[in-house]
Amino acid sequence: MSEAMFTANNLWILIAAVLVFIMHLGFASLEAGFVRKKNTVNILFKNAMIIGIGLISYCIIGFNLMYPGVNEGGFFGFAGFGLSMPEGAAGAIEYADGAYTYWSDFIFQAMFAATGATIVSGAVAERMKLNAFLVFTLVFVSLSYPMTGMWKWGAGWLDALGFYDFAGSTIVHSVGGWAALACIIVLGARKGKYTAKGIRAIPGHSMPLATVGVFLLWFGWFGFNGGSVLSADPILVSLVFVTTALAAAGGAIGAFFTSYAMFKSHDLSMVLNGILGGLVGITAGADLMSPTEAIIIGLIAGIIIPLSVVFFDRTLKLDDPVGATSVHLVCGIWGTLAVGIFGSAAGLGQLINQLIGIASVGVFTFAFAFLLIYVLKVTIGIRVEEEEEIQGLDLAEHDMQAYQEKEESFAFAME
C-alpha cells in the first residue's frame, strides 16, 4: 500500500466518522420534533448523554469486545480494557491492510456504537426516568451491542457462517429496534394513549424540527454506509452513495402512496419515517445492489412503514412515539433479508444465513434488553410519576423549558 493511498483511505474513514457523528444531531432533532413541547429538553438531554456514555464505554470495553482479534468463528472474545495502538507501522500503514490507522478504526466504530441506544431513546420518550435510561444505555452499549457485533464484524460465528450485513441493518439498527421493543413492553404506554374511548393520537410539537432531523440523518448516512466500504475505493464508495440515496427516495415514495391509501391524507411523519426506513433497508446490502434493486428495497421499506406503525399502535397497543420499532426493527429485518433476495449474494443459501443472523441477534438482544429493563424496573424504577408525566419531564427532571412562555420572554426583555 502506497503512502498516498493510505492517506486517502484514512482521510475518508475520518470524514465518514464525522458524518456518522452528525447523524446523532439528526436523531436528536427528529426525536425532539416528534415529542410534545413539554418533553423537548429531556429528549435532547438523553441524546447528548448517549454520545458521552457511548464513546467512553466503547473506549473502555466495547471496542475490544467487538473486535477481540481472537477466537475467530466464535461467540465471544475480549482483548482487554482500554485502547492500545500497536507500535510503529503495525498501528498505521500496516493496520487493516493500509486502509486506515488503529485510531481511525476506533473512532469510526465508536460513532456507530451509541446509535442503538439513540433508537431506544425515541421509543421510550415522555415517560421513562432519566437515570434509569442512562443506566440502561451504559450497560447495553458496553455489553450487548459489541457482543452481537462481534458475531459478524469481529470475525465471529455469523461471519464464518456467511451471514452478510454490510453496514448494520441488523448489527446496528435491528439491535436498537429489538431493545426498543423490549423496553416499551415493560415500560407501558404514555398516559392517555389507550383509553376506554379508543386510541388517542399524541402528535409531536415540531414537524419542522423532525424534518430537519431526517435530512441530517440522510446526509450522515452517506458516511454510515460509504464509510463501511472501509477504504476510499472510488467505484465502490460511489456505488454505495447511489444505492443509499435511491433507497431513501424509494422509501419516501412507498410511504407516500401507502399512507395516503390507508389514511386518505398526506402524512408528513409517515414520509419522513419512510425515508429512514429506506435507508435502514439498504444498509445491509448497499455495496451489492444495482440502482434498480436499491429503489425496490427502499420502496418496499416505505410501504412497510405505515403498515408496521398501525400494527404496533392499534393491534399490539405498543406506544412508540417516534416509530423506532417500525423504522429500525422491521425495516432492519427487511433489509437484511433483501441481501438474500437481491444483489450479487442472492440465493436460498444466503437467505437462510440471513434468517439465522436475524433470529440469533434478535433473540439475544431482546432477551438481554428485556432482562436489563426489568431489573431496573424492580430496583430503581423506570417510570416517572403520573403527575410528572402530565407536567412534562422538562420541568420534572431538568427544571427548565425548551421554550419560554411569551409573558416570561416579555418580562425578561423588559428587564
Task: For residue 231, name the pLDDT band (cuts at 50, 70, 90).
Answer: very high
Is residue 403 in a domain? no
Q: Of 52, 335, 346, 312, which is closest to residue 167 (Cα–Cα)?
A: 335
Does 413 fall in a domain? no
Domain interval for residue 238? 3-395
**Residue 155 domain-assigned (yes or no):** yes
C-alpha–C-alpha distance, residues 95 and 109, integer Å: 15
With respect to residue 402, please indicate whether it lies within any of the assigned structural domains.
no
Beta-carbon contacts of 8 under 8 Å, excluding residues fewer than 6 positions away, are: 232
Q: Between the CA atoms of 78, 80, 82 and 86, what dihedral angle is there, to the nearest 10 degrees?
A: -100
Which grid coordinates are listed for 175?
439491535
How high is the mean pLDDT of the chain? Answer: 94
Question: What does the buried/exposed string (b/e) look like for 175-212 if buried means 16 or more CB atoms within 10 Å of the residue's CB?
Answer: bbbbbbbbbbebbbbbeebbeeeeeeebebbbeebbbb
Residue 412 placed within a domain:
no
- Give me the number of domains the chain comprises: 1
Grid cell locating 64: 475490544
**Close Cβ partners of 176 (under 8 Å, ≥ 6 residues apart):** 115, 116, 117, 118, 119, 120, 324, 328, 329
Per-residue pLDDT band at 406 (split at 50, 70, 90): low
CATH number reported for the structural domain that contains residue 38 in this entry? 1.10.3430.10
> Does 401 reside within a domain?
no
333: left (phi over 0), alpha (psi -120 to 50) or beta: alpha
Given a cut of 70, is residue 409 above it in pLDDT? no
Res. 408 pLDDT band, cuts 50 70 90: low
**Predicted confidence (pLDDT) per residue in 67-113, tens digit:** 998 777 788 999 899 998 888 888 889 888 888 999 999 999 999 99
Residue 175 to residue 144: CA distance in whole angstroms: 9
Amino acid at 302: G
> How many CB atoms neighbour CB 158 within 10 A?
26
Q: Which of 22, 33, 51 is nearest to 218 (CA)?
A: 22
pLDDT (mean) for 270-276? 98
**pTM for this model (two decimals):** 0.94
Structure confidence at residue 162 as a pLDDT band (50, 70, 90): very high
- Mean pLDDT for the stretch of residues 331-351: 95
Q: Tell me how long the chain is.
A: 415
Give the per-residue pLDDT at 344.
86
Please give the Cα distance from 64 to 36 (Å, whole number): 39
Judge residue 356's burial from the number of C-beta atoms within 10 Å of its C-beta, 0-12 exposed, 13-18 middle, 19 or more buried: middle
**Confidence at residue 217, expressed as pLDDT on a 0 to 100 scale:** 98
Cα 317 to its chain centre, rounded Å, is: 22
Q: Is residue 99 in a domain?
A: yes
- Angstrom distance (rounded) from CA 170 to CA 151: 11
| Residue 171 within any structural domain of the chain | yes
The answer on pLDDT for 411 being more than 50 is: no
